[in-house]
Structure 1
């Protein structure tokens, strides 16, 4: 079988190459993938978890966590972002940021998230685009709430996120070289928020993060800016694409939609199954810090190692009937938010709360929801995204 796991046109046409990934899991689970540079494609669940939990062997810091290569001068700034750090620096940074993501803080948002969902669903009753009218605004409203930013800023956040994630997609790519750098625009926005909160502290995550913790530690200006950038992109893209991909999965499996309508409490397990099935983040990159054997293959120091969550989440050794979309699946040890270890998604509880509440309200309020056209996918091998999904909400 011809293996090409990074062809962006394939992702735009039909999503992750599940047939190739299935063959690799069964025949060559740690596969030497041709490219510039070549890389090791890790496709089995246990191997993905192993790489994720051993930062001392597989670094996010050396050459960053994103798939694409970049010059060393760009890496230097990117290494200030938690995504591109290893312990112990990552541990210090995460302990500072955790203050804004305690279970108590997230749990207190449930009623507000329900109100946001109801408001969105009120506004788009009838014909709508599920992505731009429902799936995208939900996490953006929540991010504005976390940041203490005006809801009117959500369109700016949406635009910045699209431009950063969709740079290889013709709908989102810059129209000209004169178009500003979205990352720099987010940094400026973060600085404005921080300045406002220093003058007028509030009960929001920005106020918490610009203040010293119990040990007197605080985030530097650059660290804070990069955290806001990560929140704007990761906090938006994961929930948005899990929600739109989950809705598409329910359209493709109408028996599961009928189950959810009959029992909306299934939204709890449906949230995990949607994340497993969609795997909104398809891959992340690591770099070997020393010679190491993985899956029987000899990996050399500085080799590029890429973990595929979309493959691990369909590993039949972990998920019985892995190719079956089952909203009642329980237990469901999906790793759509990372395979554990230092980089397990900080906002995973928030994302699952948003998904649970959204699909519960959809099932209760619009049992005859149906799609009216084909989904259009994002041209990206990093984010398993959907750009458009026309529906009628009834």
Structure 2
């Protein structure tokens, strides 16, 4: 979503923290928003350093302008609760927007408009609908797993993580199944950084996303002419708060629902396999007691923290952690740091699948913007592992994962694995 609501042109490059000592780097040189340390998987010590030495940290110089970093669990909870002072508008990404690139979406809105638009689509993940989806998810999981090669290396991200979440997105939108891979392509474009491989500029991103708008506009017209259905497009087309949205607001909410509906789950599916391989005692604990799957799913989501931060913008001068935040300042809430905060989470640096209070984490956010699809994400992960365990002794990671070049989306492009019966 950073690039979907971004300024024109590519931002200037700043010095990466890759390879630098997090404990001796001057505080004023720590720029967490630079994607380098995230792709290199060197971010955790820098989060530790700021939690210890400067938990409300000001970065004066970055490619995207100055910003605050909020590192501690309780401080983030306080900011999230104070929507009057810390606004979600105009964007939840760090890049400031120009009007021609603005994609309004309800996650980047404040009440009451946020509440009205979110309520319109919330029914798609209501308990009754999730119950109806469970059998379909299980059938699709079984088909995916039964078609995987044995004793042969393959990319888990493509064959499992991406495929399962793409199929579920198509179902939630009632999107033509044969075109389902367009959904994750648009999701990747929306969160891509220009020059990092997928797109060259924000202009190119917007051209591609307007193709998304054109495709969905045809679906919108079809659904609007029929009685209300139970899919996301029908809900938007018939909802009083959304049926008269201007095109760019429709596109913004589409991107929100597409990214939210696949990125968190996709990267947690991959991250969970990696975490279990890095913690073989926990993997054995899971094999010995499959009843731990629901608890393990929550721990995977905390451990992975698929979205590293959310941005808020100060609407007035305020104080946090003894620092004065000025009106208009960018404030990044680092969920990836809060989920490793020992003051809030016991043994936070341990992957512990049966930990007490396992659901106490901020991977889904909190407050009015808490991820509305969190139960669907957890259900997909639960069903996947319920079907993996009886089929395979181990999903063995056979090489280094390749991570996304982003400080916002904590994800993977490749995870080489081999299945062992």
TM superposition score normalised by structure 1: 0.92
Q: CA distance change for structure 1 residues 13 and 203 in 2, over 3 Å: closer, same or farther?
A: same
Q: Per-residue CA shift, 1:221-267, capped at 9, x if unaligned?
A: 53443322211112111111111111111111111111222222211
Decide whether aligned partners of structure 1 residues 146 and 307 sit closer, same or farther in structure 2, where only a CA change above 3 A counts. same
CA contact (8 A) 1:197 1:207 kept: yes
1:381 is the counterpart of 2:412: no
Q: Structure 1: how far apart are the matches of 2:146 and 2:201?
A: 34
Structure 2 CA distance for partners of 1:151 and 1:8, relative to 1, 3 Å: same
2:127 aligned with 1:103:
yes
Write the mapping of 1:113-128 to structure 2, written as runs, cut at 5 A.
Answer: 113-126=137-150, 127=152, 128=154
Q: Structure 1 residue 207: deviation in Å?
A: 2.3
CA–CA distance in structure 1, aligned partners of residues 252 and 184 of structure 2 = 17
Q: Does 1:354 align with 2:354?
A: no
Q: Matches of 2:258 and 2:401 in 1, distance apart?
A: 24
Aligned pairs for 1:293-332 (under 5 A) are 293-332=319-358
Cα distance change on mapping 1:174 and 1:39 into 2, 3 Å: closer
Work out the CA distance in 2 between the residues paired with 1:102 and 1:368.
Answer: 34
Distance in structure 1 (CA, Å) of the matches to 2:255 and 2:329: 28
- Encode CA deviations 1:23-77: one digit per residue, 9 max, x unaligned: 211221101123242111100001111111211110111x4111112224433xx
Distance 1:130 1:217, change over 3 A: closer
Q: Number of residue pairs matched? A: 386
State the distance in 1 between where 2:269 and 2:299 align.
Answer: 11
Question: Cα distance, 1:113 vs. partner?
Answer: 1.0
Q: 2:185 aligns with which of 117, 142, 159?
A: 159
Q: Which structure 1 segments of 5+ residues have no match?
A: none
Distance in 2 of aligned mates of 1:248 and 1:388 = 11
Change (3 A) 1:191 1:312: same
CA deviation string 1:139-181 (max 9, x = no partner): 1111111111122222111222222223346342349987872
8 Å Cα contact 1:86/1:342 also seen in 2? no
C-alpha change, 1:41 and 1:177, in structure 2 (3 Å) is closer
Cα-to-partner distance string for 1:267-322 (whole Å, 9 max, x where unaligned):
10111111111110001111111111111111111111111000000110111111
Instruction: For 1:284 and 1:335, locate their aligned partners in 2 and report how far apart those are by CA, in whole Å.
Output: 11
The answer to whether structure 1 residue 220 and structure 2 residue 245 are counterparts is yes
Q: Which runs of 5 or more residues in structure 2 are unaligned?
A: 1-23
Partner of 1:94: 118
Cα separation, partners in 2 of 1:54 and 1:253, compared to 1, 3 Å: same
Query: Aligned-pair distance for 1:102?
Result: 1.4
Name the CA shift for 1:179/1:289 in 2 (closer, same or farther; >3 Å). closer
Instruction: Give the conservation status (yes or no) of the 8 Å contact 2:194–2:202.
Output: no
Displacement of 1:330: 2.8
Q: What does residue 259 of structure 1 align with?
A: 285
Report which stretch shifted further, 40-49 or 171-180.
171-180
Q: Which residue of 2 aligns with 1:38?
A: 66
SS in 1 for 2:368: coil
The corresponding residue for 2:390 is 364
Give the direction of change, closer, same or farther, for the CA distance of 1:212–1:29 in structure 2 (3 Å limit): closer
Q: Distance in 2 between matches of 1:227 and 1:366?
A: 39
Q: For residues 369 and 346 of structure 1, what CA distance do their matches in structure 2 show?
A: 30
- Distance in 2 (CA, whole Å) between partners of 1:230 and 1:360 is 29
